[in-house]
């Protein structure tokens, strides 16, 4: 998921820069449309949008509109900022803080539309525009953050805040804005100030290049499947491989480097040589010493981040990043990972023993390798729980699970969702629902973009076209993106239980945006600490796994019968299966991410050797690599949202398991009082209160790590 906590005046710009951009096959050929081609007066991105609920007019927007719109919006934003900074009147909350909150609204609209298109429907022209605009927007952002007159007004209010009679939200906005100005270099002077701005601009271009390299390297690889290969694969995987070939303009069936194709293939293909080929291609993205290689970029990014952190007085970039989170320090984040690591590793070694026994029972004489784990794990799982992925997926139809995510929100929060066909969309696959309260009052729009396609980045994420704004009364426009395999025409979209969990996860993020109820947009929705932002998403996952939800919505796509009780019981019993592998795989990336950003001499760093050293120091099993190899680790190197912060998913895991335990302890997963507290203290509150205060207000106490360990099946391994 992509989000960032921003200072008010920079929100429109940083929302764009935080997005993980898309690459292209040939990065030298495409050029952006000249700005002169479009008259700003006729630009549909500018001015009021005459659409239902002010939704983006995608039916009118063309690529050539973006650069002129950006330029006009930046010019208007600069004028607004200059008017605030040069105001001859003494600074007040109204003429400074509120004025900053209202500034840049047009730039925010353009940025949010464009950033979402770069992730969802990128083509060569969009990618070229992105490469041009990223450094220009970074320079625009830095100029505002480093505006001494503007910061002087904020600083004067901050120093006098106790005498200003501010409301709690006003005080919080002032506190957060001042902190973000300082972290953006506002207190730097002279050459240090200039150098900081240079670094920010340079990094913006490097982040774009890193992501474009990742997808570029992915898009030049494919593996064709022969008929004998197809005969040994599930029908759903064969259908997805056929669709992938159609998307690439190829005949037959292919595997491409999308996780939604790679993982099922590694699970189901009995051809070990092909599994190894796919695994290595997926694992080595960005590390092939070609035009898309990312190793030099990693070194340069780390050097610049370290320099930036040092300019601000931090020992390392990891110290800089964690200073603005619930963890507070790299040491605290590492302590949490360490607490989970050893139980997870112990369980993973047990799982590896089971797999090795299965390999030997099959009369094979090789040691388990990375490309073996998923295949033989599926055999162990089928044997232990009598589960077949295809059997389970037959009951997990995407449309019904979308209904299920809405049903849970309706039961918990009293909201309703109705699909609309009159809202413009950027691709035919996109669907839109209106969210209303129990009385039918409009509250926002939810966009769902669920299928993988060329031009769409991998993974799943939540973003927005417009955040909730209490000052203007603007309702939120929230988007979920997933990358499920699109079925052939006439076939149902069947997904795995893991995919269904992802669906609920991203909708938890969406609700964080949709249910936001703050006065100031800079404090709205997901604008919270990075290691708290995953809490609403991860706690929402728990409702999917409740029997009363699966009994109602896990319906066989052909027979219409609900999932049998005994199958449901086996599905739920298997939830902790292979959790050692999953947790070790995640923590490997977390430890490497943190180690990179604690490094004080990155200039000559050997990326592969560094990875190996970190994993060896943890005694990590050779057969379990990092979930995200450094050279395609978008969380860490395509932006700063999760840099030195990948651990935050685990931190949120502590919160979500302890938080959902409140519902189970109450004996009602829809307990009205707990649902009200979750909505008011977390989802609606945004960043109006510190993250730990929000959790305690909901839970009644600080969280414990034990529910996390028990939920993953590590309870017997707790020291």
pLDDT at 390 (0 to 100): 84
Query: Nearest 5°: CA angle at 157, between 155 and 160?
Result: 110
What CA dihedral angle connects 62, 65, 66 and 69, to 10 degrees? Answer: -150
The Cα–Cα gap between 549 and 552 comes to 5
SS3 content of the chain, % helix, strand, coil (to 5): 60, 5, 35
pLDDT at 488 (0 to 100): 82
Q: How many CB atoms lie within 10 A of CB 405?
A: 27
Report whether 410 contacts 443 (CB < 8 A).
no
Report whether 137 contacts 39 (CB < 8 A).
no
Residue ranges of the chain with per-residue pLDDT less than 70: 1-41, 718-719
Active-site residue list = 506
Domains of the chain (ranges plus CATH)? 8-215 (1.10.1370.40), 222-283 (no CATH)
pLDDT at 719 (0 to 100): 62
Q: Which helix (H) or strand (E) holds 435?
A: strand 431-436
Residues contacting residue 350 through CB under 8 Å, at least 6 positions apart: 580
Question: Encoding tokens for residue 556?
Answer: 């066989």
Report whether 531 contacts 647 (CB < 8 A).
yes
Q: Which helix (H) or strand (E) holds 336?
A: helix 330-361
* Bridge partner list, 479: 447, 463
pLDDT at 247 (0 to 100): 87
Q: How many CB atoms lie within 10 A of CB 259?
A: 14
């Amino acid at each position: 998921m992509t989000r960032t906590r921003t200072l008010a005046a920079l929100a429109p710009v940083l929302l764009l820069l935080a997005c993980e951009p898309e690459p292209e096959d040939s990065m030298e050929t495409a050029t952006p449309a000249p700005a002169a081609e479009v008259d700003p007066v006729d630009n549909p991105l500018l001015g009021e949008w005459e659409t239902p609920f002010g939704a983006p007019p995608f039916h009118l927007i063309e690529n050539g509109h973006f650069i002129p719109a950006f330029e006009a919006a930046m010019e208007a934003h600069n004028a607004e900022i200059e008017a605030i900074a040069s105001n001859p009147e003494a600074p007040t909350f109204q003429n400074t803080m509120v004025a900053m909150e209202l500034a840049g609204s047009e730039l925010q609209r353009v940025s949010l539309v464009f950033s979402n298109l770069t992730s969802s429907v990128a083509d060569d022209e969009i990618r070229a525009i992105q490469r041009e605009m990223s450094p220009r927007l970074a320079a625009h952002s830095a100029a505002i953050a480093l505006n001494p007159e503007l910061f002087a007004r904020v600083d004067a209010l901050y120093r006098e805040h106790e005498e200003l009679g501010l409301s709690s939200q006003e005080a919080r906005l002032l506190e957060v804005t001042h902190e973000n100005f300082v972290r953006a270099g506002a207190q730097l002077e002279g050459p240090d100030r200039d150098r900081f701005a240079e670094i920010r601009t340079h990094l913006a271009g490097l982040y774009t290049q890193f992501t474009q390299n990742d997808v570029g390297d992915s898009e030049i690889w494919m593996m064709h499947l022969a008929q004998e290969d197809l005969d040994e694969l599930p029908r759903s995987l064969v259908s997805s491989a056929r669709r992938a070939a159609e998307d690439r303009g190829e005949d037959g069936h292919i595997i491409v480097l999308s996780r939604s194709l790679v993982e099922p293939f590694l699970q189901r293909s009995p051809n070990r040589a092909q599994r190894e080929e796919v695994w290595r291609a997926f694992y080595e993205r960005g590390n092939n010493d070609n035009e898309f290689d990312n190793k030099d970029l990693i070194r340069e990014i780390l050097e610049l981040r370290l320099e930036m952190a040092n300019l601000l007085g931090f020992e390392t970039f990891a110290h800089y990043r964690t200073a603005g989170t619930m963890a507070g320090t790299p040491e605290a984040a590492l302590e949490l990972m360490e607490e989970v690591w050893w139980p997870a590793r112990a369980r993973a070694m047990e799982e590896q023993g089971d797999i090795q026994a299965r390999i030997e029972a099959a009369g094979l004489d090789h040691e388990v390798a990375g490309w073996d784990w998923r295949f033989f794990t599926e055999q162990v799982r089928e044997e232990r729980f009598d589960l077949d992925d295809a059997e389970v997926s037959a009951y997990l139809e995407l449309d019904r699970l979308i209904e299920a995510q809405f049903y849970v929100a309706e039961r918990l929060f009293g909201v309703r969702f109705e699909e609309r066909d009159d809202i413009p969309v950027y691709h035919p696959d996109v669907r839109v629902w209106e969210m209303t309260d129990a009385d039918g009052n409009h509250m926002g729009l939810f966009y769902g973009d669920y299928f993988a396609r060329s031009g769409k980045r991998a993974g799943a994420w939540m973003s927005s076209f417009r955040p909730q704004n209490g000052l203007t009364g603007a309702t939120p426009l929230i988007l979920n993106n997933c990358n499920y395999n699109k079925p052939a025409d006439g076939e149902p979209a069947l997904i795995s239980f893991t995919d269904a969990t992802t669906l609920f996860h991203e909708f938890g993020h969406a609700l964080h945006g949709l249910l936001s109820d703050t006065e100031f947009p800079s404090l709205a929705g997901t604008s919270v600490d990075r290691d708290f932002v995953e809490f609403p998403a991860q706690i929402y996952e728990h409702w999917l796994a409740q029997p009363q939800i699966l009994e109602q919505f896990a319906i066989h796509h052909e027979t219409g019968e609900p999932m049998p009780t005994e199958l449901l019981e086996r599905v739920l019993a298997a939830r902790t299966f292979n959790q050692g592998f999953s947790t070790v795989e995640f923590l490997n990336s977390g430890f490497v991410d943190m180690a990179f950003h604690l490094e004080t001499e990155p200039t000559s760093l050997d990326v592969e050797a560094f990875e190996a050293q970190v994993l060896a120091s943890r005694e990590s099993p050779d057969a379990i690599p990092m979930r995200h190899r450094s050279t395609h680790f978008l969380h860490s190197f395509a932006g700063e949202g999760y840099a030195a912060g990948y651990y935050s998913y685990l931190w949120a895991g502590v919160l979500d398991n302890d938080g959902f335990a409140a519902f189970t302890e109450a004996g009602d997963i829809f307990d009205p009082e707990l649902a009200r507290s979750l909505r008011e203290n977390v989802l609606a509150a945004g960043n109006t209160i510190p993250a730990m205060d929000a959790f305690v207000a909901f839970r009644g106490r600080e969280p414990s790590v034990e529910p996390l360990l028990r939920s993953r099946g590590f309870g017997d391994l707790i020291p």
